[in-house]
């Protein structure tokens, strides 16, 4: 069965600190896709990244970086030099790639609070 685990329920950091959000997934498929979404207090989910199971290259986008490790079934997200605007709930999600579907299995989310 597919499952996404975000063990960190809440994280609080002070501005400019680096923070890593953990994501561990379970799937029997060899082809799958992983996603990260941000949900600010306004409620709208904002797409951050999509990664397929065949691409283990790490990715960096500005202050954001993602570390994908198939060996440990993890897809962790790091924010460098955090800012107050980064405060939000962050969700990791998994989608099977074998079939034609956009169904996402979400983790329970990590609430990140960045204090000024």
- Smaller CB separation from another protein, 30 or 116: 30
CA–CA distance, 79 with 49 (Å, rounded to integer): 13
Q: Is the dihedral of CA 22, 3, 113, 81 positive or negative?
A: positive
Among residues 33, 64, 74, 111, which is the contact residue for another protein, using CB under 8 A? 33
CA–CA distance, 43 with 59 (Å, rounded to integer): 26
Q: Is there binding between residue 9 and another protein (CB under 8 A)?
A: no
Q: Is there binding between residue 29 and another protein (CB under 8 A)?
A: no
Q: Nearest Cα to 47, choosing from 55, 38, 34?
A: 38
Work out the number of other CB atoms within 10 angstroms of the CB of residue 37: 20
Cβ atoms of 84 and 114 closer than 8 Å = yes
What x-and-dash track marks residues 60-89 binding another protein by CB under 8 A? ------------------------------
Among residues 15, 96, 111, 113, which is the contact residue for another protein, using CB under 8 A? 96
Among residues 91, 110, 112, 114, which is the contact residue for another protein, using CB under 8 A? 91
Binding residues vs another protein (CB under 8 A): 33, 35, 37, 42-47, 50, 91, 95-97, 100-109
């Amino acid at each position: 069965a597919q499952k996404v685990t975000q063990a960190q329920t809440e994280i609080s950091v002070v501005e400019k600190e680096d923070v890593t959000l953990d994501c561990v997934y379970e799937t029997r498929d060899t082809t799958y896709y992983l996603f990260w979404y941000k949900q600010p207090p306004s409620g709208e989910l904002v797409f951050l990244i999509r990664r397929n199971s065949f691409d283990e290259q790490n990715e960096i986008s500005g202050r954001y970086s993602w570390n994908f490790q198939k060996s440990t079934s993890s897809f962790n997200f790091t924010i460098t030099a955090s800012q107050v605007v980064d405060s939000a709930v962050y969700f990791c999600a998994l989608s099977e790639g074998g079939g034609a579907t956009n169904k996402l299995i979400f983790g329970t989310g990590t609430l990140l609070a960045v204090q000024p």
